[in-house]
Amino acid sequence: MSPRWRALLAVAVLLAASQAVHAQQQPPSAPTPAPEARPQTPVTVPAPGGDVTVLADRLEEIGPDRVLVATGNVEVSRGSTRLVADRVEMNRLTGDTVATGRVILYDAGGRLTGERLEYNLRTGTGVLHGGEVQSDPYYRITGERFERRGESIYHVLGGALTTCSAEPPEWSIHFGSADADLETGVFGRSASFWVRNLPLIPWFPFFAAALGRDRQTGFLFPRVGHSATRGYQAEVPFYWAISDSQDLTVALTEYTKRGTGLTENYRYSLSAENHGQIQGFYVRE
């Protein structure tokens, strides 16, 4: 691998990491629907910010602290936030809640799964252990610990970000800590860039990525690949949302066997009859 290729790969990751936005060409995946509510008689627990509704196969209240214990297909909902678990213990007086067993939390545009959730109904804050977030339209964030600090806002420790569903993912950014708003974006620190199980860039100080659906101008995530004729390649795409009816993607690619390439893709849709695209490719060998 030539020094020039290594340098370009490092620049690719740092540029995309600092301003990354989701690729417009990738079709959004449909969000996972929340399960339908069942016809059991719900229990309503008053709480600041709105009443909490609890459904379960079995409900009982124990102890002087009025702890509500729900077991079997438990669903806890308030506003746009919904919790599904096998077992939930809820202190009616303090609002402290612990959910265990196949924990799923639907929060704004994201779906969080984990091993255990500690949550306070009064403050809306809590901690999800061993979790994963699937954020619309197609981002996936894993972490050892998700600290919920507000609606759709999390501080994540020991995690990774990717758009790939495969294991191991084709690419991922690992980080020591990150702040994520599931409706807008994520900003991480002490990061590394991985291709499958290989850490190509072992450390860079920070990265940022947009999680929303809206078209945004900026660098896209780098693409890394290999072919028999071109060798290893690293590509840095830049997306320009010119207007509601036009956009342009320009990509600089370094090939270990062919040199440096430049790709452009201009698209326009001025009317139902007047639309199209112009593509070009140049390589300096």
Predicted local confidence at residue 110, as pLDDT? 83
Average pLDDT estimate for 43-61: 89
> 276 — phi, psi (to 5°)?
165, -170
On the question of pLDDT at 1 being above 70, the answer is no
Residue 33 CB partners (closer than 8 Å, separation 6+): none
Q: CB of 145 within 8 A of CB of 156?
A: yes
What is the b/e burial string over 47-79, where b = at least 16 CB atoms within 10 angstroms of the residue's CB?
Answer: beeeebebbbeebeeeeeeebbbbbebbbbbbe
Average pLDDT estimate for 208-222: 71
For the chain, give the percent of residues with pLDDT over 90.
Answer: 39
- Count of CB atoms situated within 10 Å of the CB of 168: 14
Rounded to whole angstroms, how far apart are CA atoms 87 and 15? 44
Average pLDDT estimate for 83-110: 92
Domain spans in the chain, listed from the N-terminal domain onward: 1-24+215-285, 29-212
Predicted local confidence at residue 213, as pLDDT? 62
* 14-31 tens-digit pLDDT: 444 444 444 444 444 444
CATH architecture, domain defined by 29-212: Sandwich (2.60)
* 226-268 tens-digit pLDDT: 888 888 887 878 888 888 899 999 988 888 888 888 999 999 9
